[in-house]
Amino acid sequence: MNAVEIEQAITSLANAAFDRENFPYDFLAAFGNKDTTLKRLRAGVSNKSDLGGVLQTNNIHIAVAPLGAVTTTLTALRASPATTRYKAKFILATDGETLEAEELDSGDTIACAYPDFPDHFGFFLPLAGISIIRQIRDNAFDIRATSRLNKLYVELLKDNPDWGAAERRPEMNHFMARLIFCFFAEDTDIFHSSGLFTATLEQMSARDASNTHAVISEIFRAMNTAIDQRSQASLPRWADIFPYVNGGLFSGSVAVPRFSRIARSYLLHIGQLDWTQINPDIFGSMIQAVADDEERGALGMHYTSVPNILKVLNPLFLDDLREKLEEAGDNKLKLLNLRKRLARIRVFDPACGSGNFLVIAYKQLREIEHAINERRDEKGYPSTIPLTNFRGIELRGFSAEIARLALIIAEYQCNVRYLGQREALAVFLPLSQDNWITCGNALRLDWLSICPPTGTGTKLQGDDLFAAPPEHTPIDFENEGGETYICGNPPYIGDKKQNESQKSDLRELFAHRCTQWKSLDYVSGWFMKACDYAQNTTSDSAFVSTNSICQGQQVSILWPLILDNGRFIKFAYPSFKWSNLASKNAGVTVSIVGLSSSSLSSRKIYIEEDSGDISSIECSNINAYLISGKNIEIKRSSKPISNLPTMTLGNVPYDGGNLLMSSNDLEVLGLSSEQRRRFIRRFYGSAEFIRGLERHCLWISDDDLKDALVVPSIATRIEGVRLMRLASTDAGTVAMAARPHQMREMNAGLEKTIVVPRVSSENRLFLPVGLVGNDSVIGDKNYAIYDGPLWSLSLLASRLHRTWIGVVCVRLRTDFSYGSTLGWNTFPVPTLTEKNKADLTRCAENILLAREAHFPATIADLYNPDTMPDNLRAAHDHNDEVLERIYLGRRFKNDTERLEKLFDLYTKMAVKQNKKTTSPAVD
């Protein structure tokens, strides 16, 4: 069941007469429990309650209480030994009049009248395995409204399939936006009389829904007719009482889809919600999924939390405004000038979705303006911040509509909050005609025409000079003409995932600037456009982005185009988890990059600690890897720049599945133990190495070939390789058909091999490197150091190396993709003394011994961050301690410090290396 279906089910349960006997089962059914599960609970087989209620293991303990005894019953549930033993996450007690529940982990509780428990729908969602973040969970209204609109949307499309077709979709979306506006307006007195829209629908539309569309259409027509034109419009009396709204929202066609009985009742249900509780930044994010066929039913998928949005907006411009507010103190003139500055700040989000960045920016500016007004003793002074200064571009029509609506609602709510309800109503209607959210492709549109530079404005007048000390002259702001801040969270989309149209957007933008543009993530387009925009007008910009544009090869493609063009990185969040909706999105790792061309800006790197605390460091430059230091490019190197052993790619089989074999295949070969010893080796690809899977391969030296061919099963396999290679169109592969008993390379350690998987999960705290003996062959899904010194394993297993790889190598989504020429050969290591090497060797041995102690656990088992054994953690910790002391004389404080040191060392070593000139390298 998805969240929408659950909302529907619990609403029906709450509306039905309370059934003491069946409530626990009906409640569990509403959260998607299957009949068989409920049957087992009813039969007592799986019911673990010790209080006569229903206890579902790992889930919930429910008890129906005697009338008036809900609180005591809940206390009993909390104290019940079964609740603990069977790990209930929730307890719930109800007597049919009130309902109380607690989430035991967090201690969060709810208590409400029984019919209202669906209002706490978000609280219970984890019962269906849906975890949502707190902000959404606590905004039951937004969830329920979205859920109901969702149902209405689906029902209308069912009845009006033509409205679902591409040509009419925009009309459908516009219709939904109009409805949302009406529901909001009727509950907030914008329609003068509370509940007017729903009440009119209920009265004027027939129960069989045959004229619902006509009634709505007349109401819309009224809202599009100015009061002075009403007499000629011949509106029915019941429609004429609706105010003139327009503002583009009700202009154009007043066509309305036809309603079935069900759709009509859904419509009335939506009207029964209390729309005053709408939270435009949450609601907008959720509602946009309604119009998306693939995402409908998923609530809050795109919700970006306010703290995350503020990570962009605060350093971009809000921090500065707050600082200026502090500096102004009670100086009325300074405050006035700041207010005038606010009125000319434009915030532009060229991938605005439902407008959440714009809404938050607007609300924040209003808060600052309010503080100014209070300090100037002008509480209630009308806002001078025009909503139209919050501009956006959005590709999807419905999201663009919602963005506009969300801003209108945000403005109204701010007016109520800071000016009062009456004042807010007085200025609300009619809506402004300006269309400040453009629906279109941001990479094709001219940003200057959507958000033109304002030019120089009037010099600020000290119009309350009498109130200010006479020596104060009007303040010149750096940008008299108004400031523009570009921000947002554009689509990331790696090069392999871009569709034809997105590729062509990037081609248009980049093909004349660089040759390797095809490797860029789609988000790069927004950085480039922001950079171009800033050629014509001063504007700072900041976007959330995948951190891959600041790693590996994309660094050298994108950033010179920006950093060599007068722009610099003003602030950055190098890397943090951007978790939207936990159940759907384990959290992409993102960066935030802020750009400026004003040399006055300070430069700051922000770091979010695991605790959620944010700290920052000021620095003189932030390079494209988002590290404090010189602008530098880590270049592939054909050999290590430090004194390190050679790392090579493992052996490439090119065997058509003939040289490699499973354990079963090996048995089928029917070899003697002597033949096994001579011709067979254990084979390690990355899955075999990390997950301990067993695979083998033929490994036949030229000297042994004659004896091997005597074994028919081996001869057949070798012939298979020969035929496969001969059939190739690649000349090199065909040439290899001459020695079909062998892989392309025949590299193996005489004693041991250090193994480095090419791709591995970034969730592990350490790279899953290790050691195999001389009876093993390493495949090309790994890199290998044959007979390398053990201290190099210590380097590879260190946090320092993992951090380096995370930044300099290309990432595959969230996985690490190791490259020897970019990751190992560039890794800067100080000169190691014999003592250092001996210490590091011991550290590597300790790590291996710690793993041994858990035999037969695999690397995947051992390095699961949630269950990593303590002794192994300790061995790694010691390894890091020893290595970091070699680099710094102490432990590094964090990864930022690690990277700064590594980049500094690299820069010095690269300078030396350049003098010797490096040869080009390929992985």
Ligand X SMILES: C[S@@+](CC[C@H](N)C(=O)[O-])C[C@H]1O[C@@H](n2cnc3c(N)ncnc32)[C@H](O)[C@@H]1O
Q: Which is nearer to ligand X, 32 or 440 (CB)?
A: 440
Stretch that binds ligand X, among 171-179, 351-359, 632-640, 870-878 (CB under 6 A): 351-359
Least CB distance to ligand X at residue 357 (A) = 5
- Residue 259 CA: distances (Å) to CA of 162, 202, 875: 14, 13, 68
* Ramachandran sector of residue 164 (left: φ over 0; alpha: ψ -120 to 50; beta: rest): alpha
User: Cα angle at 186 between 132 and 248, to 5 degrees?
Assistant: 90
Q: Residues with Cβ < 8 Å from 550, sequence gap 6 or more?
A: 559, 574, 591, 593, 624, 625, 626, 807
Q: Is 266 exposed, middle or buried (0-12, 13-18, 19+ CB in 10 A)?
A: buried
- Min separation Cβ 491 and ligand X, Å: 4
Q: Would you mind telling me the total number of residues written for the chain in this entry?
A: 923
Kindly tell me which of 520 and 808 has the beta carbon lying closer to ligand X: 520
Binding of ligand X at residue 285 (CB under 6 A)?
yes
Q: Does 356 bind ligand X (CB under 6 A)?
A: yes
* Cβ at position 130, least distance to ligand X in Å: 19
Smallest separation (angstroms) from ligand X to the CB of 77: 39
24 touches ligand X (CB under 6 A) = no
Query: Should residue 173 be labelled a site residue for ligand X when binding is judged by CB under 6 A?
Result: no
Task: Give yes or no for a contact between 850 and 857, defined as CB atoms under 8 angstroms apart.
Answer: no
Task: Confirm or reject binding of residue 357 to ligand X (CB under 6 A).
Answer: yes
Q: In this structure, are residues 392 and 400 in contact, taking their beta carbons and an 8 Å threshold?
A: yes
Among 201, 245, 299, 351, binds ligand X (CB under 6 A): 351
Nearer to ligand X, 153 or 625 (CB): 153
Work out whether 279 is an interface residue with ligand X (CB under 6 A).
no
Each residue 230-269 as x (binds ligand X by CB under 6 A) or -, in order, gives ----------------------------------------
Rounded least distance, CB 521 to ligand X, Å = 12
Q: Which residues pair with 681 in a beta bridge?
A: 697
Q: Are 147 and 270 in contact (CB under 8 A)?
A: no
Nearer to ligand X, 185 or 318 (CB): 318
- Taking CB under 6 A as the rule, does residue 304 contact ligand X? yes
Q: How many residues bind ligand X (CB under 6 A)?
A: 20
Nearer to ligand X, 197 or 576 (CB): 576
Residue 465, φ and ψ in degrees, nearest 5: -55, -30
* Of 271, 488, 740, 828, the one binding ligand X by CB under 6 A: 488
Q: Are strands 345-349 and 483-488 parallel, antiparallel or unpaired?
A: parallel
CA 41 to chain centre: 39
CB closer to ligand X out of 442 and 808: 442
Contact mark string toward ligand X, 64..93, x via CB under 6 A: ------------------------------
DSSP string, 72-111: HHHHHHHH-HHHHHTT-SEEEEE-SSEEEEEETTT--EEE
Query: Applying CB under 6 A, does 590 fall inside the site for ligand X?
Result: no
What's the min distance (Å) between Cβ of 501 and ligand X?
8
- Cβ pair 692, 856 in contact under 8 A: yes
Give the three-state DSSP class for 778. strand
Give me the helix-helix angle, 799-808 and 870-888, nearest 10°. 80
**Which among 130-138, 349-357, 594-602, 908-916 is the span making contact with ligand X, rule CB under 6 A?**
349-357
Beta bridge partners of 98: 113
Residue 843 engages ligand X in binding (rule: CB under 6 A): no
Residues 398 to 437: which contact ligand X by CB under 6 A? 399
Shortest gap between Cβ of 580 and ligand X (angstroms)?
8
Residues 377-396, interacting with ligand X (CB under 6 A):
393-396
User: Per CB under 6 A, does 489 bind ligand X?
Assistant: yes
Residue nearest to ligand X (CB): 353
Residues 431 to 460: which contact ligand X by CB under 6 A? 441-443
For the CB of residue 447, give the shortest distance to ligand X in the complex, in Å: 11
Q: CA of 355: how far to CAs of 185, 281, 310, 362, 410, in Å?
A: 20, 7, 14, 10, 11
Which of 102, 44, 692 has its CA nearest to residue 112? 102
> Is the distance from CB of 767 to CB of 815 less than 8 angstroms?
no
Instruction: Tell the smallest beta-carbon distance from residue 88 to ligand X (Å).
Output: 35
| Residues 53 and 21 sit within 8 Å (Cβ to Cβ) | no
As a whole number of Å, the end-to-end CA separation of the chain is: 47
Cα maximum dimension of the chain: 108
Query: Does 491 participate in binding ligand X (rule CB under 6 A)?
Result: yes
Nearer to ligand X, 406 or 809 (CB): 406
Residue 286 as a binder of ligand X (CB under 6 A): the answer is no
**Which of residues 176 and 748 has its CB atom nearest to ligand X in the complex?**
176
Nearest residue (CB) to ligand X, 394 versus 495? 394
Q: Specify the residue, 57 or 504, whose C-beta has the smaller distance to ligand X.
A: 504
Place of tokens 């060797």: 841
DSSP assignment of 413-466 equals: HHHHHHT-HHHHHHHHSSPP----EEES-TTTS-HHHHS------PPPP-TTGG
Residue 312 as a binder of ligand X (CB under 6 A): the answer is: no
Give the range of 346-354, 696-704, 718-726, 839-847 binding ligand X by CB under 6 A: 346-354
> Would you state the structure tokens that stand for residue 426, as one six-digit string?
């007085």
CA 742 – CA 658 distance, rounded (Å): 11
- Considering only residues 137, 302, 363, 366, which one is a binding residue for ligand X as defined by CB under 6 A? 302
444 versus 891: smaller Cβ distance to ligand X: 444
Q: In the structure encoding, which two tokens stand for residue 124, read together?
A: 């219970």
Using CB under 6 A, list all residues that contact ligand X. Answer: 285, 302, 304, 351-353, 356-357, 393-396, 399, 441-443, 488-491
